Structure 1
Amino acid sequence: MPSPATDTPHPPWWQAFWPAPQAVDARERLRGAGGAGIGILITAIVGHLAMRLGMPAWIVAPMGASAVLVFAVPASPLAQPWSVVGGNTLSALIGIICATWGGSTEWAAAVAVAGAIGVMFALRCLHPPGGASALLMVVAGVTDPRYAIFPVLLNSVLLASVGVVYNNLTGRRYPHAQLPAKPSESKDDLDAVLARYNQVLDISRDDLQALLEQTRSEGYRRRLAELQCSDVMSRDPITVEYGTSLQEAWALLREKRIKALPVVDTRRRIIGIVTLADFMRTADLDLHEGFGQKLKQLIRSTGRTHSDKPEVVGQIMARTVRVASEHRKLVDLVPLFGSSGHHHIPVIGEGERLVGILTQSDVVAALAEPPVR
């Protein structure tokens, strides 16, 4: 039997007989049980009323199994209205045909269940209780085709209708759309894996995709919660001092292909930061006219002790700098990059000395790594 590839060793075979705990709370369990009770009650009452009009039966046993699916697992592809109505009704009709066939009950039962599964597969209404509907017709010796209409069809329609109303009133989408997802690389990968798995899954494709994406996001959140600035920052960043000439600072930005230079004092403590934006603002480069000439005039040194234009980094740098401790959690700083317009955050260590710089690229690189499991 094919199974998804995994690096986790398989447990002993006997453990497969022990059920895993259900990942639902008491409220959801009560919701499912209550819905099933209401669904069967309404179906039974209407069935009894119809029976007074001369119908042969009021409710069939497979409705109990259908109720479990409709109300306890309403997201399952096996529990959707067409699966309930089509699966039960068509299977019952096949069972009636097999019962009419006249062969031995054993053979008729086997052919009925097998035929019902084949038809449900073909018509996209696979519904486990459908197998019971087919078998019931054979065992009970039902040969009247009208039995598939009443009670089976009526029961199924009533139960599915109650399911639509009850599930939506209690916060569960039903019917659960089984629509193909929009093409994307990750979803194409999922299709390829599902094709190799080649088994019916009791979960819709879109729900499976959503669960995988939520699991991946949860892994990223956990990873961010564990990471500190020191884990992802760029170490030993290139720095300048207050008196560094604009020409030298500009050359460093261009040569190293970076967008910011921390400005430090002699003890390597942050006193400011200079960015490409500071050069553009000071040179009045908002207008494209004379772009190159304005920049050259800004960074060219006059050689005089007094000048009408800025000569050194300290004259154009931003003095208010957002910094972070090397032990600060990365998750605390993500909002700064997303909403506050910060692109570079200097990281300080012991004695408030600069030990690194955190950029948007560093955060993206941290997220791109596979989440720790």
Structure 2
Amino acid sequence: MPASRTDRLLQWLLPPSLNIPPTQWLRAGIGALVGLFLAGWLTSLAYGPDIALHLLGPLAASAVLVFAVHSGPLAQPWPVLGSYTLAAIVGLAMRDGFGPGLGVAAAALCLSILVMCLLRCLHPPGGGVAVSAVLADPGLTALGDHLLEPVLLNALILVAVATLYNRLTGVRYPKGPAPRKDLHHTHDPLPSERVGIRGEDLDQALEELGEFVDVTRDELERIILATEQHALQRSLGGITAASVMSKDVQFVSPETTLQQAWKLLDSHHVKTLPVLQDGALVGIVSLSDLVGPAMQQARLSWRGLFGRKPVRMAQVMSRRVVSVSSQHPLERLLPLLCEQGLHCLPVLDGDVLVGVVTQTDLIAGLKRQLLSSANASERRVPAL
């Protein structure tokens, strides 16, 4: 049913949701209060209350950005500090060269935007700083070129408070690029990055868009990857670890010897063995854990003439085990087995080991899903 005229009017008038949880509203509000108050108070102590109060307008706008829109490119420290510095210099130069006036203030704003874009420090309140410098009242005019000092002091205090407050409240600021996981220390992209959207695809799309997007490239990539993850979850149709796991689990105990573990790995053609003690999972051993001790025992030495103590799994096993539940969805197993270097995931129901999911199990489950999707598409009757 088409939307009514009233509905279309309301959609046009009402902006879309900001996608900011209410708890973040309060966090941002308190942070802006603290940042603006501290900057204004310390600047008033250094330069007098009149100077501090006249500079609060642009600073309040900056506080909204660094506390409420902290992940955006306009809210990062360099845009704040760079824009305040450049805008103040441009405003002072325009006022000294042409005097105060509306036309001069507008020209200073235009020139500030050009310089901020050139030096990658675009920050909207910087335009207010440039205009304030041109239209300064007698108190600010008396400072002359020293007006740059309280402007920079305000910006430095605000950025320092934002960095401390945001991190104390669980927000990463400044927003740097996410660390890249590189378990193999090679130049290859991660398995999840070899097919699908790549960084150069984003760069090309942003270039073709030809306009400013108020989100960092890394944030945009995270949004797209999260969207792909939700689409993958929908397409996999609720397949869980219980659907693909191996139930006949081969395991060892902490007292199992190195030779016994080798025989299990060889006879069952597996690469990983869970370690159980009294039915509880206490560790895991992989082929790579056993290679070193095996090579050590193969070396000839005078101690070997008198016999060697057997190497037991308690000595070589990894005690930090990544496990999943039987209801763990298949799409959440993918990053564990593809990117984190894990070859086997123990599956627990409570504290009881009920199976394991290996990379082979995962591939078999994905193959089955792909075949099911292909068969379903072939059964569809084409529309006439």
Smaller-chain TM-score bracket:
0.5 to 0.7
Tell me by how many angstroms 1:145 deviates.
1.8
Q: Secondary structure at the match of 1:43?
A: helix
Q: TM-score scaled by structure 1?
A: 0.57
1:43–1:155: 8 Å Cα contact kept in structure 2?
yes
2-side partners of 1:69 and 1:75: how far apart? 9
User: Structure 2 matches for 1:198-237, cutoff 5 A?
Assistant: 198-225=210-237
1:116–1:131: 8 Å Cα contact kept in structure 2?
yes
Q: Which structure has the bigger radius of gyration?
A: 1
Aligned-partner residue type, residue 357 of structure 2 = S
Tell me by how many angstroms 1:33 deviates.
0.5
Any idea what the Cα deviations from partners look like across 1:199-246, whole Å, max 9, x if unmatched? 222111111101110111011113324579xxxx9xxxxxxxxxxxxx
Cα RMSD between the aligned structures?
A: 4.1
2-side partners of 1:225 and 1:85: how far apart? 49
Between the two proteins, the alignment pairs up a number of residues equal to 252
User: Structure 2 matches for 1:293-312, cutoff 5 A?
Assistant: none
Tell me by how many angstroms 1:45 deviates.
1.4
Residue 67 of structure 2 aligns with which residue?
71
User: Structure 2 matches for 1:77-156, cutoff 5 A?
Assistant: 77-102=73-98, 105-140=101-136, 144-150=144-150, 152-156=151-155
1:225–1:331: 8 Å Cα contact kept in structure 2?
no
2-side partners of 1:102 and 1:334: how far apart? 63
Q: Secondary structure at the match of 2:171?
A: coil
Tell me by how many angstroms 1:133 deviates.
1.0
Tell me by how many angstroms 1:118 deviates.
0.7
1:192 matched to 2:241? The reply is: no
2-side partners of 1:335 and 1:47: how far apart? 53
Residue 340 of structure 1 aligns with which residue?
357
2-side partners of 1:227 and 1:160: how far apart? 47
2:91–2:130: 8 Å Cα contact kept in structure 1?
yes
Identity %: 33
Q: Structure 2: any 5+ residue segments left out of the alignment?
A: 1-6, 181-186, 245-263, 270-326, 335-343, 346-355, 375-384
2-side partners of 1:22 and 1:87: how far apart? 26
Identify if the C-alpha distance between structure 1 residues 365 and 83 changes in structure 2 by more than 3 Å, giving closer, same or farther.
Answer: farther
2-side partners of 1:43 and 1:128: how far apart? 19
2:72–2:216: 8 Å Cα contact kept in structure 1?
yes
Tell me by how many angstroms 1:332 deviates.
7.1
Residue 157 of structure 1 aligns with which residue?
156
2:44–2:50: 8 Å Cα contact kept in structure 1?
no
Q: Structure 1: any 5+ residue segments left out of the alignment?
A: 1-10, 234-280, 287-328, 346-357, 369-373
1-side partners of 2:373 and 2:99: how far apart? 65
Aligned-partner residue type, residue 72 of structure 2 = S
Q: TM-score scaled by structure 2?
A: 0.56
2-side partners of 1:165 and 1:344: how far apart? 46
1-side partners of 2:177 and 2:331: how far apart? 39
Identify if the C-alpha distance between structure 1 residues 115 and 366 changes in structure 2 by more than 3 Å, giving closer, same or farther.
Answer: farther
Residue 176 of structure 2 aligns with which residue?
177
Report which of the two has the higher share of helix: 2
Aligned-partner residue type, residue 171 of structure 1 = G
Tell me by how many angstroms 1:56 deviates.
4.5
2:81–2:156: 8 Å Cα contact kept in structure 1?
yes
Aligned-partner residue type, residue 42 of structure 1 = L
1-side partners of 2:157 and 2:357: how far apart? 55
Residue 361 of structure 1 aligns with which residue?
367
2-side partners of 1:204 and 1:166: how far apart? 21
Identify if the C-alpha distance between structure 1 residues 110 and 97 changes in structure 2 by more than 3 Å, giving closer, same or farther.
Answer: same
2-side partners of 1:129 and 1:26: how far apart? 25
2-side partners of 1:145 and 1:81: how far apart? 23
Which residue, 23, 30, 34 being the options, matches 1:34?
30
User: Structure 2 matches for 1:283-302, cutoff 5 A?
Assistant: none
Any idea what the Cα deviations from partners look like across 1:30-71, whole Å, max 9, x if unmatched? 00000000001111110121125x994454310000000011
Identify if the C-alpha distance between structure 1 residues 364 and 207 changes in structure 2 by more than 3 Å, giving closer, same or farther.
Answer: farther
Residue 280 of structure 2 aligns with which residue?
none
Aligned-partner residue type, residue 201 of structure 1 = V
